Amino acid sequence: MDFEYTEEQRLLRESLDRLLGDGYGFDMRKAYLTAPDGFSAAMWGRYAELGLLGLPFAEEHGGFGGGGVETMVVMEALGRVIALEPYLAAVVLAGAALKLAGSAAQHPGNLNCPLAVTHSACYFAVRVLTDPDTPPNAGAYRPIEVRAPEDIAPQLEASKAAGAGGLAIFEDPLTLSQRSEIVALASRLSLPAIYGYREFAVAGGLMSYGTDHAAQWQRGAEIVDLILKGAKPADIPVEQPTKFELVVNLKTAKASNFTMPPTIMISADEVIE
């Protein structure tokens, strides 16, 4: 078995290394963190120009026909610079959910349209843009703002009417507290959704992907213990989450009359039946 990259895969890796090397210096990353959405819209646009937003999808669905190896190349490059852009959640996972659960009209023509993503406090919806003036992989995104529980239903209904093709709902106290309503609305509006909290999948959501919160709290307790024993907070390095979990609600998938692909089932840390 040949484990060497093909010429196209090597070119993809080299292009990504150049792009991220130029666009992800230490000070640049600090600046991206202060952006309204917590990542760089300009870098997201560069990913679009490079074709990354259509990379994981088949050509008949408007993509570039990349497979698991190409996705691995991208994720490895983003991981090396601890990139902030939500490529895995917004493109790989949310795109797979749209492919599986989207309507026939949403599948071929719209999978290659950019996925819009926001994850700042009170922002949570992701949708596929269907504006005919938006070129493929344009990288544009439209945030959907929700500041109170009573905003949720009108905003999602309006998004559906405007051509929304899917949702990606991230960590936020408001969305977590209203998870049952959001899951029910997504089901009623036939909007495939992926969530940032495991609790959404437990409440009936299709799938969730996010950090292992139990592991985070445990690590937090360990750091507090170090400080109480005399360690200086300034000497303790900043840490990023390293453990993530994919939870699939198979009961919801069956109720929606579609089959989860084997790759997702194999990757799942937990399957709710």
pLDDT band at 102 (very low <50, low <70, confident <90, very high): low
Residue 133 has pLDDT above 60, yes or no: no
What residue ranges define each of the domains in the chain, with the CATH number in brackets?
Answer: 7-211+243-272 (1.10.540.10)
What is the per-residue pLDDT for 141?
47
Q: What share of the chain is helix, strand, coil (3-state, %, to 5)?
A: 50, 10, 40
What is the per-residue pLDDT for 178?
86
In angstroms, the CA 198 to CA 247 distance is 6
Higher pLDDT, 238 or 29: 29
What is the per-residue pLDDT for 61?
63
What is the per-residue pLDDT for 69?
83
What average pLDDT does range 145-160 have in this prediction?
82
What is the per-residue pLDDT for 109?
42
pLDDT tens, residue by residue, 11-70: 888 888 899 988 898 888 888 888 877 788 888 888 887 888 778 777 766 667 777 788
What average pLDDT does range 205-226 have in this prediction?
83
Q: In this predicted structure, which of 15-29, 103-117, 187-201 has the lowest mean pLDDT? A: 103-117
In angstroms, the CA 147 to CA 153 distance is 12
pLDDT tens, residue by residue, 153-190: 888 888 788 777 777 787 667 788 888 998 998 888 88
pLDDT band at 122 (very low <50, low <70, confident <90, very high): very low
What average pLDDT does range 230-255 have in this prediction?
84
Parallel/antiparallel/unpaired status of strands 167-169 and 193-195: parallel
What is the per-residue pLDDT for 204?
92
Residue 132 has pLDDT above 50, yes or no: no
Q: In this predicted structure, which of 102-111, 209-218, 262-271 has the lowest mean pLDDT? A: 102-111
- Comparing CA positions, the residue from 209, 252, 244, 200 lying closest to residue 90 is 209
What is the per-residue pLDDT for 129?
33
Residue 202 has pLDDT above 60, yes or no: yes
Give start and end residues of each alpha helix (H) in 150-261.
Answer: 152-161, 173-177, 179-188, 198-202, 213-228, 250-255
Q: Are 32 and 23 in contact (CB under 8 A)?
A: no
> What residue type is assigned to position 188 of the chain?
R
Residue 265 has pLDDT above 50, yes or no: yes
> What residue type is assigned to position 193 of the chain?
A
Question: Which helix (H) or strand (E) is 212 found in, with range?
Answer: none
CA angle 119, 24, 78 (to 5 degrees): 65
Residue 125 has pLDDT above 50, yes or no: no
What is the per-residue pLDDT for 184?
92
Higher pLDDT, 191 or 252: 252
Residue 124 has pLDDT above 60, yes or no: no
